[in-house]
A and B are shown apart, each in its own frame.
Chain A
Amino acid sequence: MTLEVISPVAELSDALGELTREVARSVVLVRGSLGSAGSGVMWDQPGLVITNHHVVPGPLAELTVAGGRRLRGRVIRRAPALDLAALQVDAALDDRAQVADSDSLRVGDLLVAVGNPMGERNAPSLGILASAPGDVLRLSITLRPGNSGGALVNARGEVVGIPHMVTGNGLALAVSTRSVRQFLNGATSEQEHDNLRWV
Chain B
Amino acid sequence: MSPAEVKPYTCTMTLSDTAGGLLASVSDGLATAVQRAGRSVVAVHGRRRFPASGVAWRHDQVLTASHVLERDSDLSITSADGTQHAARLVGRDPGSDVAILSVAGASLQPIERAPAGSLLAGHLVLAVGRPGTPEPIASFGAISSVGGAWRTAQGGLLEAYIRADVALLPGLSGGALVDVGGRAVGMLSAYLAGGDPVGIPIDTLDSLAQRIVSGGPLRRAYLGVSTQRVELQEVLRLRLGLQQTSGLMLLGLEPGAPAERGGLLLGDILLAIGGRVVDDGEALQMALGPQAIGTSTPIRLIRGGDLRELQVVPAPRPN
Task: Determine if A128 and B14 form an interchain contact, defined as CB atoms under 8 angstroms apart.
Answer: no
Number of interface residues of B (CB under 8 A): 43
The distance from the CB of A19 to the nearest CB of chain B, in whole angstroms, is 6
Beta-carbon contacts under 8 Å, A175-199 to B:
184-186, 193-194
Task: Determine if B11 and A170 form an interchain contact, defined as CB atoms under 8 angstroms apart.
Answer: no
Decide if the interface of chain B is mainly helix, strand, loop or mixed. mixed
Binding site for B on A (CB under 8 A): 8, 11-12, 14-16, 18-19, 22-23, 25-26, 44-46, 76-77, 86, 88, 94-98, 106-110, 127-132, 138, 140, 154-157, 169-171, 184-186, 193-194
Output the nearest chain B residue to A97 by Cβ-Cβ distance.
Answer: B13
Task: Determine if B23 and A156 form an interchain contact, defined as CB atoms under 8 angstroms apart.
Answer: yes
Beta-carbon contacts under 8 Å, B131-175 to A:
133-141, 165-169
Task: Determine if A170 and B165 form an interchain contact, defined as CB atoms under 8 angstroms apart.
Answer: yes
The tally of CB-CB contacts under 8 A between chains A and B is 137
The distance from the CB of B12 to the nearest CB of chain A, in whole angstroms, is 5
In the complex, A186 Cα to B134 Cα: how many Å?
30
Task: Determine if B140 and A128 form an interchain contact, defined as CB atoms under 8 angstroms apart.
Answer: yes
List chain B residues, Cβ under 8 A from A14.
19
> Which interface residue of A23, A154, A155 has the most chain B CB atoms within 10 A?
A155
> Which interface residue of A18, A23, A76, A185 has the most chain B CB atoms within 10 A?
A18
Choice from A16, A94, A155 contacting B12 with Cβ under 8 Å: A94
Task: Determine if B34 and A108 form an interchain contact, defined as CB atoms under 8 angstroms apart.
Answer: yes
Task: Determine if A110 and B27 form an interchain contact, defined as CB atoms under 8 angstroms apart.
Answer: yes
The distance from the CB of B152 to the nearest CB of chain A, in whole angstroms, is 21
> Which interface residue of A95, A96, A129 has the most chain B CB atoms within 10 A?
A129
List chain B residues, Cβ under 8 A from A19.
15, 19, 23
Beyond A132-B135, A156-B24, whether A108 also contacts B126 by CB under 8 A is yes
In the complex, A77 Cα to B2 Cα: how many Å?
11
| Beyond known contacts A22-B15, A95-B12, A140-B141: 12 more, CB 8 A cutoff | A12-B22, A12-B26, A15-B20, A16-B23, A26-B13, A96-B11, A106-B35, A107-B38, A128-B138, A129-B31, A131-B135, A138-B169
